[in-house]
Amino acid sequence: MLSLGIIAAVLDSVQEAIEVTDKDGNIIYVNPAFCRITGIPFETRTKENIFNISPEGALALALKTGKSITGHRTKVGGSNAEVISNAVPMVVNGEIIGAVVIFQHITDIIKLIEDLKRSTNMIRDLSDKYGQVTQSKYGFENIVGGSAAIGDCIKTAQMAARSSSTVLILGESGTGKEVFANAIHNGGPRRDNPFIAINCAAIPDTLLESELFGYARGAFTGALKDKIGKFSLAHSGTLFLDEIGDMNLLLQAKLLRVLQEREFEPLGSNRTISIDVRVIAATNRNLKQLVREGKFREDLYYRLSVVEINLPTLRERTEDLPELANHIITSLNRKLGRKVVGLTAEALGAMSGYNWPGNIREMENVLERIMVSLDSELITIKELAPHITMGLGNQDVPELGLMPLDHIEKIMITRALEKYGVSVEGKRQAAKFLNISLATLYNKVKKYNILTSNI
Ligand SMILES: Nc1ncnc2c1ncn2[C@@H]1O[C@H](COP(=O)(O)OP(=O)(O)OP(=O)(O)O)[C@@H](O)[C@H]1O
């Protein structure tokens, strides 16, 4: 049983105001928090009757109705304090002997709500931030291939990894640009810090700037809270700018400034943010050609290509093909729960003769398509042929006559989108089927003006 002394101490120390009446409404007790919140001394208040001083308050209502009153918003009678109160009648042996009210000053509640809002926003920001921070997946040990062509690239990349120099990785789609960017980050002193990747072609021009640099609340309609840009997220780590060749000239100018000055202002903010970010850029486009055409700034090109790595195509390193095929089959066995042991010599020969326009990604997709429906442990020419020797001339397009390649591309992309749908997942699957990256698919949809709304 609690002693009276303890009960008094509890009433004295709580932050909420407490007021007690007898059954006739005479105020018999108020705690110190009551006096603090209302400014009314104990002696004054305990001379009053609640029906006189606050007839519409929660305490009077609880006494009158014999029911609990919750969330009642009033001014405390005899003071200016606006409060939110909960009152209950006190019942002993079935009879009401009085009532008690507990309340808090409304400004305290507003403050609590604001604190809660601030904490909720902070949690949302942190979870956004967390969701965007990806750990880099590959190291140099994951780069398969002993050919001189890939060996030279690995050597350059390993050297670059030790410094913080900007690196430009060039190569056709699917040659491993992202793998190399990961390995450079992982192989250097920033490996424990964030690796942030952004695909400049997959994000509309209008959004790319705010994705990269963030914005301040109120920077434009709909900017309800601050947004952290990828440059800030990558602080002390690496920012991988994939498909840099697709960045527009205005943004190229801003990027150049950031690379030179190592600081920037988020959109709509006058706060300057200093950053320590190593930039790795990549593209499958011919940047020098774009520079000649005035579509890519020459000064940015030189700023990015402090170290330049030109990844060989698969057809330029066919000697790596058996090792790559084995590596891919092993990881597909794990993914698909299969026990495929490899390819027949004839199948491998056919692979070497094919020109692999989609490079390693295409090889992965071809092998996966074969392995999901394979009955035996060996992949033979029979399974391989429909995928690599006929190319576009397969049974899907017998009715097509001779026509320019870009027409065929447009038809195939439209068909793939019709088959898989135009949602992001649909596009991902369509890109996978077509052996192109998602960014390339977005590019071609734009280039050929394929109206996804009609699909
Ligand atoms: N040397 C390699 N060893 C093993 N796997 C590789 C190698 N290079 C690439 N790959 C695999 O090939 C696929 C494509 O690689 P990646 O995404 O790095 O290519 P990319 O050049 O960035 O393509 P894109 O330009 O289309 O974005 C990935 O699944 C990757 O794991």
Contact criterion met (CB below 8 Å) for 212 and 264: no
Question: pLDDT-based confidence at 120, cuts 50/70/90?
Answer: confident
Whether the per-residue pLDDT at 161 is higher than 90: the answer is: yes
437 touches ligand 1 (CB under 6 Å): yes
Say if ligand 1 is within 6 A of residue 285 CB.
no
Convert the pLDDT of each residue in 395-415 to its tens digit: 344 445 566 788 788 888 988
Last residue of a domain, one of 289, 310, 331: 310
The enclosing domain of 51 has a CATH number of: 3.30.450.20
Please give the pLDDT value at position 131.
56
**The total number of structural domains that make up the chain:** 4
Taking the centre of ligand 1 as the mean of its atom positions, its distance from the CA of residue 364, in whole angstroms, is 9
Which range (75-84, 168-177, 201-210, 267-276) has the least confidence?
A: 75-84
Question: Would 47 be classed as within a structural domain?
Answer: yes
Q: Cα of 193 to ligand 1 centre, how many Å?
A: 22
Mean pLDDT of 318-323: 92
Q: Whose CA is nearest to atom 8 of ligand 1?
A: 176
Mean pLDDT of 236-251: 94
Same domain, 178 and 281: yes
| Ligand 1 close to Cβ of residue 305 (< 6 A) | no
pLDDT band with cut points at 50, 70 and 90 for residue 62: very high
Q: Which of 77, 109, 141 is the last residue of a domain?
A: 109
Going from the Cα of 148 to the center of ligand 1, the distance in angstroms, rounded, reads 18
What's the confidence (pLDDT) of residue 392?
Answer: 37
pLDDT band at 46 (very low <50, low <70, confident <90, very high): very high
- Reply yes or no on whether the pLDDT at 432 is more than 80: yes
201 shares its domain with 298: yes
Cα–Cα distance list, 296 to 44, 167, 279, 441 (Å): 81, 17, 17, 21
Same-domain status, 189 and 303: yes
pLDDT at 394 over 50: no
Q: Is residue 254 part of a domain?
A: yes
**Is the CB of residue 332 below 6 angstroms from any atom belonging to ligand 1?**
no
174 lines ligand 1 (CB under 6 A): yes
Q: Are residues 260 and 340 in the same domain?
A: no
Q: 93 lies in which domain range?
A: 4-109
Is residue 177 lining ligand 1, measured as CB closer than 6 Å? yes
- Does 19 share its domain with 32? yes
At residue 447 the predicted structure's pLDDT band, cuts being 50, 70 and 90, is confident
Within a domain: 146: yes
Mean pLDDT, residues 368-383: 91
Reported ipTM: the value is 0.93
Mean pLDDT lowest for which of 130-144, 272-286, 342-356?
130-144
CATH of the domain at 161: 3.40.50.300
118 falls within a domain: no
Same domain, 142 and 267: yes
Residues 202 and 270 reside in one and the same domain: yes
Instruction: Starting at the earlier edge strand, list the strands of the sheet with 95-105.
Output: 27-30, 17-22, 95-105, 82-92, 69-75
Decide whether any atom of ligand 1 lies within 6 Å of the 312 Cβ. Answer: no
pLDDT at residue number 327 = 95
Rounded distance from Cα 177 to ligand 1 centre (Å): 6
Query: Would residue 429 count as lying in a domain?
Result: yes
Residues 302, 333 share a domain: no
Same domain membership, residue 155 and residue 247? yes
Average model confidence (pLDDT) across the chain: 88
Burial class from Cβ neighbours inside 10 Å (0-12, 13-18, 19+) for residue 104 reads middle
Q: Is residue 434 part of a domain?
A: yes
- In this prediction, residue 389 carries a pLDDT of 57
The Cα 363–Cα 67 span in angstroms is: 75
User: Has this prediction a pTM greater than 0.80?
Assistant: no
> For the chain, first and last CA: distance in Å?
75
Q: 206 C-alpha vs ligand 1 centroid, how far in Å?
A: 28
How many angstroms is it from 234 CA to the middle of ligand 1?
22
Write out pLDDT tens, residues 247-280: 999 999 999 999 999 999 998 888 899 999 999 9
What percent of the chain has pLDDT above 70? 93
Same domain for 155 and 294: yes
Q: Note whether 68 and 161 are same-domain residues.
A: no
**To 5 degrees, how large is the angle CA 139–CA 365–CA 393?**
145
Closest CA to 234 of 171, 290, 280, 178: 280
Three-class DSSP category at 33: helix
Q: Is 359 in the pocket of ligand 1 (CB under 6 A)?
A: no
272, 289, 310 - which closes a domain: 310
298 and 346 share one domain: no
- pLDDT grade, residue 114 (50/70/90)? confident
CATH of the domain at 370: 1.10.8.60
Asked, for residue 397, whether it belongs to a domain, the answer is no
Measured from the Cα of 284, ligand 1's closest atom is: 25
Segment among 16-30, 82-96, 121-135 with least mean pLDDT: 121-135
Best probe residue, ligand 1, of 142, 153, 178, 321 (max atoms within 8 Å of C-beta): 178
pLDDT class of 314 with cuts at 50, 70, 90: very high
- Identify whether 319 is part of a domain: yes
| Residue 143, ligand 1, Cβ within 6 A | yes
